[in-house]
Amino acid sequence: MPYHNIDAAFRSSKVNECYLFVKDKYVVLNYAPGEKKKDIIKGPCLISDGFPMVAKMSAENVIDCAFNTHHNEAFFFFEKQCEKIDYAPDSTKSELLSGPTSIIEAFPCLDHTVHKDGIDAAFLSTRKNVYLFKGHRYTRIDYVHPDYAIIVYRTIRKGFGSLLGTVFESGIDAAFSSHVKHEAYIFRGEYYARINFGPDTLDGDFIVGGRIKRIKDDWPALHDILHYE
């Protein structure tokens, strides 16, 4: 069992690279689909060093959730607040683009959803859509549209049939969209799954490889930051 869980994640603009956040630290690693995740590209680093703007919304320099948008930009979330940043993958000079502000100020459409009080995990669906998770519920929104229109708001059980009977049907700790179309990685506790979320398809979602797996077995690069015994 890991001593820590993955708190947040997002896909880098660099192919097969992602950022993973654990407590007040983060790593950048090569997640190459189908391969063992053994190559750390950067880190572990303190969030306060790589993303000093996080201190504006989190005194502990931790985040709950993140998702990438276009170019080198991403949204960071902590409790009821969020920031938009340029994470500058080729330098150490990340930049605050907007915020911190409340989630409902940034995404007004979430005012009557559970997400106004915080977001646990998120991943991109398309260039304009993102899935947001909180507890056993999720929302899919158009984050590019000025009104950030809600496309779907339902329970994970109803929207992701492949996750029924798994630890993920009641919640997701962290997630990021893969560079492979319609695929994402989701994490909870000691488990992860690589899923094809099949937006707007007749076939629906499915777990790539057919089952969820233990992070310890396939992500050796994370052993130290997760403090496996």
Q: pLDDT tens, 151-196? A: 889 999 999 999 999 999 999 999 999 999 999 999 999 999 999 9
**Residue 224 parent element (H or E):** helix 223-226
Strands (E), the chain: 8-11, 17-22, 25-30, 39-46, 65-68, 73-78, 81-86, 95-102, 121-124, 129-134, 137-142, 150-155, 174-177, 183-188, 191-196, 206-207, 213-214
> Does the pLDDT at position 221 exceed 70?
yes
The overall average pLDDT reported for the chain is 92
The pTM for the full model equals 0.94
Q: Which of 156, 144, 5 is nearest to 67 (CA)?
A: 144
DSSP string, 51-98: -GGGGGT-TT---SEEEE-STTEEEEEETTEEEEEE--TTSS--EEEE
Paired with 138 in beta bridges are 133, 154
Question: For residue 226, what are its two tokens?
Answer: 């997760």
pLDDT of amino acid 229: 62
